[in-house]
Amino acid sequence: MKMSRTVFLLVAIALFAITQTSAWGQSSSGSSTSAQSQTQAAPAQTAQPSSSSSMSMTLTYHRPTEKERLKNYAFDAFGPYAFAGSALAAGIQQAETPNGPNGNSQSGVPPDWGQGWDSYGARFGSNFGINLITQTARYSVARVLREDTIYYRCECSGFIPRLEHALISTVTARRGDDGHRTISFSQIAAPYAGTEAAALLWYPNRYNAMDGFRMGNYNLLIQGGLNVALEFIWGGPHTLLSHHHVPVLSNATGSNSDKQ
C-alpha cells in the first residue's frame, strides 16, 4: 500500500511541476513584450557587492528565464548527478551497520530492507525519490515566492569568503530585479520535504516525522556540500559540472559559457 501511494505521488509531483511551468509560461507570455520594452528603456540593474569581501565588484544581475529555471530543475531532478548521488547514497546505506534498539548491530539502512541487489535497488529508488521531491518542492515554492534559488558563484576572491558564500547560499536565495540576497524558505524547507515524504510514505512503519526531520538535516548538509563543489570545482564552460546551475546564472559571475 505504501509503495503504490509512493509511485502515485512521484508521478503526480513530476506532472505538477510540468503543468505549473506551462501555466506560468503562458501567464507571463502576454506581458513579455511590454516587460522587454521596459527592460530596454531602463538602465541595467546591478547586484550589490558581496559583503564577504571588500574586493567584490558591482556587476550586472541577470534574472533567469522560465526556460532556464525549468532546465535547472530538470537537471537537478533527473540529471546524471541525481542518478549518481542516489547510487552512491544507496551503497553507503547498504554498507552501514547501525546499532538497533537492542544494542545489536544491524545491516543496512533501514535494516528492514535487508541486503542484496533487490535491497540496493529499493535504497536507490528511495534516495532518488527523496531527491525528486526535494527538487520539486524547492522549484515550486521558489516560483510561488518569486525566489531565484539557482547557485551563483561568488564574485569575491579568497578561500574563506568563497566558502562562506557557498554555505550561506544553502539557506538564501536572490529576489527582485536587482538580485538581492534574502533568507529563503524554499531553500530551507525543501530538504525536509523530501525526507519527510520518505519517512511517512515508503520507509518501514516504525519511522515517523521525527526520523524525517533527522534525515532532513543530513539532506541540508549535502546541499551545502554540493554548493561548495559548485564554487570550487567548476572546471569551465564545457564540463559536466558547469551544466549544473553555473552557466545560466549571470554574466556577472564570469561563469556564463557565452562569455568564455
Q: Is the pLDDT of residue 66 over 80?
A: yes
How confident is the model at residue 209, as a pLDDT? 95
Give the residue from 175, 130, 169 showing the smallest Cα distance to 151. 169
Could you report the per-residue pLDDT of 24-35, keeping only the tens digit for each? 444 444 444 444
How confident is the model at residue 210, as a pLDDT? 95
How confident is the model at residue 63, as a pLDDT? 85
Q: Considering the chain, what is the average pLDDT of its residues?
A: 75
Extract the C-alpha cell encoding 55.
574586493
Q: Determine, yes or no, domain membership for 23.
A: no
Measured CA to CA, the distance from residue 64 to residue 247 in angstroms comes to 11
Q: Determine, yes or no, domain membership for 28.
A: no
Could you report the per-residue pLDDT of 95-143, keeping only the tens digit for each? 887 665 555 556 788 988 988 999 999 999 999 999 999 999 999 999 9
How confident is the model at residue 247, as a pLDDT? 39
Q: Determine, yes or no, domain membership for 181.
A: yes
Q: Determine, yes or no, domain membership for 212.
A: yes
How confident is the model at residue 142, as a pLDDT? 95
Q: Find out whether 202 and 2 touch, Cβ atoms under 8 Å.
A: yes
Extract the C-alpha cell encoding 87.
547510487
How confident is the model at residue 220, as a pLDDT? 95
Q: What is the mean pLDDT of residues 19-27?
A: 45
Measured CA to CA, the distance from residue 13 to residue 200 in angstroms comes to 16
Q: Is the pLDDT of residue 202 over 60?
A: yes
SS (H, E, C) 66-83: HHHHHHHHHHHHHCHHHH
Measured CA to CA, the distance from residue 244 to residue 151 in angstroms comes to 9
Q: Determine, yes or no, domain membership for 35.
A: no
Q: What is the pTM of this model?
A: 0.69
Q: Determine, yes or no, domain membership for 144.
A: yes
For residue 246, give its domain range: 62-259
Helix ranges (H only) for 155-239 are 159-168, 185-197, 209-232
How confident is the model at residue 145, as a pLDDT? 94
Q: What is the mean pLDDT of residues 28-47?
A: 42
How confident is the model at residue 56, as a pLDDT? 39
* Residues 6+ positions from 8 with CB-CB distance below 8 Å: none
Task: Determine the straight-line distance between the first and last CA of the chain, rounded to whole angstroms.
Answer: 52
Q: Determine, yes or no, domain membership for 18.
A: no
How confident is the model at residue 206, as a pLDDT? 92
Q: Determine, yes or no, domain membership for 226.
A: yes
How confident is the model at residue 241, as a pLDDT? 57
The number of distinct structural domains making up the chain is 1
Q: Is the pLDDT of residue 15 over 70?
A: no
User: Buried b / exposed e across 94-129, counting CB within 10 Å, b at 16+?
Assistant: beeeeeeeeeeeeebbbbebeeeeebbebbbbbbbb
